[in-house]
Amino acid sequence: MLSEKLLKAINTQIEHELFSSNLYLSMAAYFETKNLPGFAAWMRVQSDEERAHALKFFDYLHDVGAQAKIHALSEPPFEWSSALDVFEHVLTHEKKVTSLIHSLYEIALQDKDYAAQSMLKWFIDEQVEEEKNASLIVEQLKMLTDHRAIILHLDHRFGKRGAD
């Protein structure tokens, strides 16, 4: 049976995942206003992934006979100074999410909740990928500085995400 502490923490994580979805959608809107539809498309896919993560937690709670509670969300930021600034924000945000997932795993370990540990293992692996992708893009953007043609090339490449 799920402990009250873990139940509360997972419900809070659902809130974080939904906020992440909104954050990435806000970033997509920012890129649209900067005429970078490929970057915007990349962020839309990321937003969808975060919503799927929230639903994975939601479904898990119901699978174990607990109730998901949907909390109000705070407004995400909507302005950044550059594509690099956006992706630095992404990397910082993903590191925060990794920390939150690790905290959930610690609770599951303390509770000896093996089912929760198994479910959370997927998220731990996912966060390695999320941080790697964000870090790679940050490093690539740092190499570019203000080479607009290269940013447009990356924009085109990012626009193909999810189209495969």
Per-residue pLDDT tens for 45-75?
999 999 999 999 999 999 999 999 999 999 9
Enumerate domains of the chain plus CATH numbers.
Answer: 4-158 (1.20.1260.10)
Kindly tell me the sign of the dihedral angle through the C-alpha atoms of 95, 56, 27, 130: positive
Residue 164 has pLDDT above 90, yes or no: no
3-class secondary-structure state, position 78: coil
- Give CA angle at 46 (2, 128), nearest 5°: 60
- For the residues of 35-58, what is the DSSP string, one character each? T-HHHHHHHHHHHHHHHHHHHHHH
What's the pTM?
0.87
With bands split at pLDDT 50, 70 and 90, how would you rate the model's confidence at 31?
very high
Contact (Cβ atoms closer than 8 angstroms) between residue 88 and residue 138: yes
